[in-house]
Amino acid sequence: MDTNNISSLTDQELLTEAKKQKSKNITNALLVGFLAGILVYSVWKNSLGFLSLIPLFLIYKLVNKSKYDKEELEKEMKKRGLQ
């Protein structure tokens, strides 16, 4: 989300975005856990190969994507004095 876009939201829209962000974080945590399980099973059954790197790459993308949006959203909420 763009910083200018976040600052132009109303308080209610900002709180709604925070709720959406929370549900996205839960979904991402479930996906990361599932992909980590696939990675562990793949390494245990065979060995570390090319197919084992695919879940590892997806975990990396999911984890890095959510951090930036969350920090900007929390910064704006603190600035406005919202929960």
Task: Report domain extents, the chain.
Answer: 3-80
pLDDT at residue 12 greater than cutoff 70 = yes
> How many Å from the N-terminal Cα to the C-terminal Cα in the chain?
19
Question: How would residue 73 be classed by pLDDT, with cut points 50, 70 and 90?
Answer: confident
pLDDT in tens, 45-61: 877 677 777 888 888 88
pTM of the model: 0.65
Read off the pLDDT of each residue in 9-30 and give the average, rounded to a whole number. 84
- The CA distance from 60 to 32, in Å, is 9
Q: How many CB atoms lie within 10 A of CB 55?
A: 20
CB 77 within 8 A of CB 1: no
Read off the pLDDT of each residue in 24-50 and give the average, rounded to a whole number. 82
